[in-house]
Structure 1
Amino acid sequence: MRTTLSQYGKISDMGRFMKPLTADIHFYTAMLDQTPIAVFISDELVGCGRIQEITENSVKVGDARYLRENCKFKYAV
């Protein structure tokens, strides 16, 4: 059962589905946890998979490398 933010201010358990990875800690946690990621350019899905490598400028998802400044990365689960 999924819940939202309660009247008591408790954190929701809605999960991370399609929430963006915006900070380095998000990328590194997703890589360590092997969380599936979706990659978008201009709202078009261009790739998906697990993060294999992270650099300052790019993220390798599956066998493809994507530039961080050109792409949006979102949790796929």
Structure 2
Amino acid sequence: MASSNLIKQLQERGLVAQVTDEEALAERLAQGPIALYCGFDPTADSLHLGHLVPLLCLKRFQQAGHKPVALVGRRDRSDWRPEL
């Protein structure tokens, strides 16, 4: 998958609803591979179907030659989020 079409393909599949600066992103993707991340802080014992969309986006970027990073928090670490 070419990076030049990546955002359009994600939009057509309903995986991306809004991009802050689509033109700047397209220009940056055309310059070469980028690193991108998505963070998950599961509130259940494991990841669930709701985490699938961002994972699919990461996979598409990987297939286009970019470097995806998935960060997974620990559900039992609520000391940094007092509201939990």
Q: Considering the TM-score relative to the shorter chain, is it more than 0.5? A: no
Measured against the shorter chain, the TM-score band is under 0.3
The structure showing larger relative contact order (alpha-carbon pairs under 8 Å, at least 6 residues apart) is 2
TM-score by length of 1: 0.22
TM-score by length of 2: 0.21
Higher helix share: 2
Structure with the greater alpha carbon radius of gyration: 2
